[in-house]
């Protein structure tokens, strides 16, 4: 083949390759992104908010900031749910909200409008979730029933078994009801409380859920005692609570707080 013809053939090949790339880019195609999306397990983010009077306005602002950062980790097909802690019992109607990030228009290609729809979803969700961190209207709270709320959380977990669930508890983790009042260790549960409840089938099933606690003290003896209870409790429910995920004022929440989950 002559040198001139060889150059022409190579030039034609480059032109075809360039044209292919331009068409692919115009369609928003990204095979690696598509393959990743196809293999990725959908995520469920459950945000649980404590708005009791023991939570300061500054802590509520921290909850809002960290919740917004968690929304940024969601992508197409992921789900987010928000639940406000019950005050006294499961007899109350919980304040809750849930939505799913819109799916891609085409699963085998990535369109620009998909990115737009995801960004719009994150923006709208962030704006809506501000109601769960409002400082006003908290004067008449009657209690803090974390234990009852976790049964509602378990229902959310099991409604989406194909999702990998992370539960973020924005709370000081001080159960405060007639039966149990952890504020100042007034009425702490008996040492065998979790064991007895588990034997009686009276614990929620949170199997597979990753637990993150934001707002709980760990720098005092009382705080450590409360933490010990919740560590035993969540282990009995089948959830995962790593020590690093139980904090008072974390700077951020890891994108994968429980790595290695199946």
pLDDT tens digits, 204-241:
999 999 999 999 999 999 999 999 999 999 999 999 99
Does pLDDT of 26 surpass 80? no
Task: Return the residue matching tokens 């019992």.
Answer: 89
Indicate the number of domains in the chain.
2
Residues 98 and 226 in one domain: yes
77: domain CATH number is 3.40.50
Residue 187 has pLDDT above 60, yes or no: yes
Q: Is residue 253 part of a domain?
A: no
In a domain, 259, yes or no: no
| pLDDT averaged over every residue in the chain | 87
Q: State whether 84 and 105 are in the same domain.
A: yes
Q: How confident is the model over 125-152, as pLDDT tens digits? A: 999 999 999 999 888 888 999 999 999 9
pLDDT (0 to 100) of residue 7: 37
Do residues 190 and 171 both lie within one domain? Answer: yes
Shared domain check, 75 and 203? yes
Same domain, 127 and 215: yes
- Nearest-angstrom CA–CA distance, 69 and 51: 20
* Same domain assignment for residues 89 and 11: no
Q: What confidence category does residue 11 fall into, taking pLDDT thresholds of 50, 70 and 90?
A: very low
Predicted TM-score of the model (pTM): 0.84
More confident residue, 33 or 199: 199
Highest mean pLDDT among 92-96, 185-189, 256-260: 185-189
pLDDT at 79 over 70: yes
Domain enclosing residue 31, as ranges: 1-39
Are residues 164 and 60 part of one domain? yes
* Residues 16 and 91 grouped into a single domain: no
Q: What is the pLDDT of residue 33?
A: 47
Beta bridge partner(s), residue 248: none
Check whether residue 35 and residue 159 sit in a common domain.
no
**pLDDT bracket for residue 262 (50, 70, 90):** low
In a domain, 22, yes or no: yes
Question: In this structure, is residue 50 part of a structural domain?
Answer: yes
Same domain? For 121 and 21 the reply is no
Tell me the mean pLDDT in the region 235-261.
95
């Amino acid at each position: 083949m002559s040198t001139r013809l060889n150059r022409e053939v190579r030039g034609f090949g480059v032109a075809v390759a360039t044209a292919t790339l331009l068409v692919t880019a115009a369609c928003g195609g990204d095979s690696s992104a598509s393959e990743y999306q196809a293999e990725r397990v959908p995520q469920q983010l459950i945000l649980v908010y404590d708005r009791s009077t023991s939570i300061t306005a500054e802590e509520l602002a921290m909850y809002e900031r960290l919740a917004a950062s968690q929304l940024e980790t969601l992508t197409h097909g992921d789900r987010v749910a928000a639940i406000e802690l019950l005050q006294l019992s499961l007899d109350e109607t919980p304040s809750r909200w849930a939505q799913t990030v819109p799916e891609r228009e085409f699963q085998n290609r990535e369109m620009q409008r998909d990115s737009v729809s995801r960004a719009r979803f994150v923006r709208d969700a962030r704006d809506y979730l501000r109601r769960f961190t409002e400082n006003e209207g908290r004067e008449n709270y009657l209690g803090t029933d974390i234990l009852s709320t976790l049964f509602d959380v378990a229902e959310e977990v099991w409604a989406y078994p194909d999702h990998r669930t992370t539960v973020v508890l924005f709370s000081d983790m001080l159960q405060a009801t007639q039966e149990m009042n952890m504020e100042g260790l007034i009425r702490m549960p008996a040492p065998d409380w979790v064991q007895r409840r588990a034997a009686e089938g009276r614990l929620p099933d949170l199997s597979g859920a990753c637990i993150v606690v934001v707002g709980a003290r760990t720098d005092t003896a009382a705080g450590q005692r409360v933490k010990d209870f919740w560590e035993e409790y969540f282990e009995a429910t089948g959830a995962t609570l790593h020590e690093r995920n139980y904090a008072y004022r974390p700077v951020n929440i890891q994108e994968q707080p429980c790595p290695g989950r199946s």
